[in-house]
Amino acid sequence: MRISVFGSGYVGLVSGACLADVGHEVLCMDVDPERIATLRAGEVPIHEPGLDGLIRQNAEAGRLRFTTDTEEAVQFGSLLFIAVGTPPDEDGSADLQYVLAVAESIGRYMQDYKVVIDKSTVPVGTADKVRATVQAALDARGIPLDFDVCSNPEFLKEGAAIEDFTRGPRIVVGTDSERVREAMRECYAPYNRNHDKLMFMSVRAAELTKYAANAMLATKISFMNEMANLAERLDVDIEEVRRGIGSDPRIGYHFIYPGCGYGGSCFPKDVQALCRTARQVDYPAQLLEAVEEVNNRQKGTLFAKLNQALDGQLAGKTIALWGLAFKPNTDDMRAAPSRTLMEALWAAGAKVQAYDPEAMKECRRIYGERDDLMLAGDRIQAVRGADALVICTEWKEFRTVDFAWLKRELNLPVVVDGRNLYEPKALQQAGLLYYGVGRGDSASRCVRPEA
Ligand code: UDX
């Protein structure tokens, strides 16, 4: 099939490369000429394991091409995927201007029947707006052409996006048209061989499915963080509780790791957008609003713990920071807990010595050169001369540490572990003051209810 993908960002590139890899002819479009030039030169502007190889192979085979030409992209594909960004508006709702601009171009340039596919995460009712926008552009040309709009949300995790695309548990398609069902069956047939993963439903149900999935996962995390904060006050180790409840198959072990809060490009934005949608239909979603509030509070706990450990004397101190990305295997720092921490430390007059296996360039891009930020070459250098250590991301290389060495390196023996990587006893035996998340240690009880 001939497929055009509008938006060569994270979702567009992964989808485009995976669809080309099974033999479709794919044209990825983006309005950013620099991005397209980079891609044409065989480089990939984002960090995602396996993606550069996949793009290179399929580009060399001639199945995957890149363009900045909207008209060419509209005319090329019979399937037109919209995978542009939907950043939050000032009020938290999804900003649809990029999605609707693509819809307008489709109406302006199409010459025959098209299936328009919303891949971006968009609020319930967006497909109707896309349909109306395409139709208005067609009407302006006075040409009566047929088209369909469907919703096909992605469920890609950063760091495992290719695996999720190729072997994900479901392919959701929202449509009421048999013609679209056939086209989508053909498009996904290579990824739908062993058992039927295609789920057809109404357009609005597909749109809500994406938000509901992310909101449910975010809820699990905020719930566990709430339990962890409670465990701290009750002198209970949340890790024991986590294993205790995870063993119930109705609860399960996935996504119940307490920590320093969720970040990334999806959960914070999608929970906010769903809260906003709920308000628009006069149903203030109390649980979802609390999920967000708990998460915001949780992102502040690392600073609160450090501040308590240092008796409020953070000015002039140097804090080592391991992990900047919002999770391992990505360089993405969007809404990362590390940012909340660094910004609070700087405001308190402390310096940061940070190390992350992938996100150093991204950190420099966001914060630039500043006297109170040193980007270290490795985790050892980050700790050298520092007063305390904070862990924000559970990269594998942080899991094993010589605690006796750490005790010698740190001026104050304080370790704040935002991901519960270590056994509190091991650090305490090495003479370190350990602050985990919900580890039942009275020293770590510093999430104040009013915070
Ligand atoms: C998420 C969804 O998983 C994916 O299906 C959707 O399409 C996009 O949003 P992603 O943002 O890449 O993917 O990250 P994910 O691995 O889900 O983690 C999100 C955040 O939750 C991270 O900050 C992570 O550290 C945190 N998290 C996750 C926890 O704090 N505890 C957990 O148990 C799991």
Q: Which residue in 206, 447, 158, 177 sits closest to 325, CA to CA?
A: 158
Nearest CA to ligand 1 atom 27: 262
Give strand pairing partners of 150.
Answer: 117
> Once rounded to an integer, what is the mean pLDDT over residues 230-258?
96
Query: Residue 169's Cα: distance from chain center in Å?
Result: 19
Q: Is the pLDDT of residue 405 over 60?
A: yes
Mean of per-residue pLDDT scores for the chain: 95
Q: Return d(Cα 409, Cα 387) in angstroms, integer.
A: 8
- The CB of 259 under 6 Å from ligand 1? The reply is yes
Judge whether 18 counts as a catalytic residue. Answer: no
CB neighbourhood size of 144 (10 A): 7
Q: Residues 284-299, buried b or exposed e (16+ Cβ, 10 A)?
A: ebeebbebbebbebbb
Q: Note whether 109 and 293 are within 8 A (CB).
A: no
Q: How far is the CA of 183 from the centre of ligand 1 (A)?
A: 31
User: How high is the pLDDT of residue 90?
Assistant: 83
Helical residues (DSSP H) of 300-448, grouped into ranges: 301-309, 337-347, 360-367, 379-383, 403-409, 424-429
- The CB of 257 under 6 Å from ligand 1? The reply is yes
User: How high is the pLDDT of residue 402?
Assistant: 97
What ipTM was predicted for this assembly?
0.92
Q: How far is the CA of 327 from the centre of ligand 1 (A)?
A: 8
Q: Which atom of ligand 1 is nearest to the CA of 259?
A: 30
User: How high is the pLDDT of residue 448?
Assistant: 37
Q: Return d(Cα 277, Cα 296) in angstroms, integer.
A: 20
Q: Return d(Cα 14, Cα 312) in angstroms, integer.
A: 46
Instruction: Strand 114-118: give its sheet, edge to edge.
Output: 64-67, 25-29, 2-6, 79-82, 114-118, 147-151, 171-174, 198-201
Residue 232 tokens, joined:
């701290």
User: How high is the pLDDT of residue 449?
Assistant: 35
- The CB of 395 under 6 Å from ligand 1? The reply is no
Q: How far is the CA of 104 from the centre of ligand 1 (A)?
A: 33
Using DSSP's 3-state secondary structure scheme, residue 77 falls into coil
The class level of CATH for 233-451 reads alpha beta
Q: How far is the CA of 262 from the centre of ligand 1 (A)?
A: 7
Give strand pairing partners of 113.
Answer: none
Helix 10-21, helix 51-60: angle, nearest 10: 50
- The CB of 156 under 6 Å from ligand 1? The reply is yes
Q: Is the pLDDT of residue 29 over 60?
A: yes
Q: Is the pLDDT of residue 109 over 90?
A: yes
Query: What digits encode the pLDDT tens for the residues 331-377?
Result: 999 999 999 999 999 999 999 999 999 999 999 999 999 999 999 99
Q: How far is the CA of 132 from the centre of ligand 1 (A)?
A: 34
- The CB of 267 under 6 Å from ligand 1? The reply is yes
Nearest CA to ligand 1 atom 10: 157
Element (H, E) at 75: helix 70-76
> Once rounded to an integer, what is the mean pLDDT over residues 45-69?
95
Q: Which atom of ligand 1 is nearest to the CA of 335?
A: 23
Residue 183 CA: distances (Å) to CA of 27, 67, 145: 17, 24, 18
The strand ranges marked E within 30-146 are 64-67, 79-82, 114-118
Lowest mean pLDDT segment, chosen from 38-47, 289-298, 316-325, 395-404 = 38-47
202: left (phi over 0), alpha (psi -120 to 50) or beta: beta
- The CB of 5 under 6 Å from ligand 1? The reply is no
Using DSSP's 3-state secondary structure scheme, residue 35 falls into helix
Element (H, E) at 141: helix 126-141
Single-letter amino acid code for the residue at 338: S
Q: How far is the CA of 349 from the centre of ligand 1 (A)?
A: 31
Nearest CA to ligand 1 atom 16: 157
Residue position matching structure tokens 């999806």: 266
Q: How far is the CA of 6 from the centre of ligand 1 (A)?
A: 25
Query: What digits encode the pLDDT tens for the residues 177-210?
Result: 999 999 999 999 999 998 999 999 999 999 999 9
50: left (phi over 0), alpha (psi -120 to 50) or beta: left
Backbone phi and psi for residue 142, each to the nearest 5 degrees, phi listed first? 70, 25
Residue 352 CA: distances (Å) to CA of 172, 214, 316, 385, 390: 44, 32, 10, 11, 10
- The CB of 382 under 6 Å from ligand 1? The reply is no
- Tell me which of 28, 266, 275, 363 is the catalytic residue: 266
Taking the CA atoms of 225, 230, 236 and 242 in sequence, report the sign of the dihedral they define: negative
Residue position matching structure tokens 């890149």: 66
Q: Is the pLDDT of residue 441 over 70?
A: no
Element (H, E) at 217: helix 203-234
Query: What digits encode the pLDDT tens for the residues 83-106?
Result: 999 988 888 788 999 999 999 999
> Once rounded to an integer, what is the mean pLDDT over residues 65-79?
98
- The CB of 221 under 6 Å from ligand 1? The reply is yes
- The CB of 256 under 6 Å from ligand 1? The reply is yes
DSSP letters, 249-297, are: TTT-STT----S---SSSHHHHHHHHHHHHHHTT---HHHHHHHHHHHH
> Once rounded to an integer, what is the mean pLDDT over residues 306-311?
96
> Once rounded to an integer, what is the mean pLDDT over residues 26-46?
96
Taking the CA atoms of 82, 85, 58 and 188 in sequence, report the sign of the dihedral they define: negative
* CATH code of the domain occupying 2-201: 3.40.50.720
How do the domains of the chain map onto residue ranges? Answer: 2-201, 233-451
Backbone phi and psi for residue 119, each to the nearest 5 degrees, phi listed first? -105, -30
Q: Is the pLDDT of residue 47 over 90?
A: no
Q: Which atom of ligand 1 is nearest to the CA of 155?
A: 7
One fold for 2-201 and 233-451: yes
Which of 223, 245, 256, 262 to mutate to test ligand 1, by most ligand atoms within 8 A of the CB atom?
262
- The CB of 158 under 6 Å from ligand 1? The reply is yes
Q: Return d(Cα 65, Cα 146) in angstroms, integer.
A: 27
